Amino acid sequence: MKTELQFDFTVNKETKTVTINRTFDAELDLVWDAFTKAEILDQWVAPKPWKSKTKYMNFEVGGKRFYAMVSPEGHERWSIQEYTSIMPKTNFKMYNTFADENEKPELPGSDWHYNFSEENGMTKVNISIYNESLERLERMIEMGFKEGFTATVNNLEQLLAKLSKK
């Protein structure tokens, strides 16, 4: 079932943009909530065994989400997302920066655009991430996610086990 869901991922070095398209087997309302509510975001946004911890989140224009990716050893890597534009259940934009635990941002950051659309009960999400520097893009990967990769296989196995039980 998973394999039918569209997923494409492209990196354009010239425009310094990462573009991601993904279809989810759920209605728009639910998917929108999953991307815009802290309590749901924290459940999926960190690749296991990392955890996402949101200190606070005000999903409104000019509002912020201050959160950390927590490593299995308990290391916290903080980031700030500032919402720059919101059109409910259609799209939103944010500016993402790495930060320290005192909420001091490390500029420059990256611009994130999210677009949502529903078709036949499936929801398509388009994400484009513009990075001012490619170096930062490189850091996004180095920033702790390495352990996440090795865990990918485990996640998938758990997922498949869960699905086959249904």
Which residues bind to other proteins, rule: CB under 8 A?
2, 5, 7, 9, 11, 13, 18, 20, 22, 24-26, 30-31, 33-34, 40, 43-48, 134, 137-138, 140-141, 145-146, 148-149, 151-152, 155-156, 159, 162
CB nearer other proteins, residue 47 or residue 63: 47
Q: Which residue has the tokens 């490593």?
A: 71
Distance, in Å, from the CA atom of 166 to the CA atom of 112, rounded to the nearest integer, reads 36
Nearest-approach distance from CB 80 to other proteins, in angstroms: 19
Q: Judged by CB, which is closer to other proteins: 40, or 97?
A: 40
Least Cβ distance, residue 62 to other proteins (angstroms): 26
Burial class (CB in 10 A: 0-12, 13-18, 19+), 41: buried
Helix (H) or strand (E) holding 65: strand 64-70
Q: In angstroms, what is the minimal distance from the CB of 68 to other proteins?
A: 16
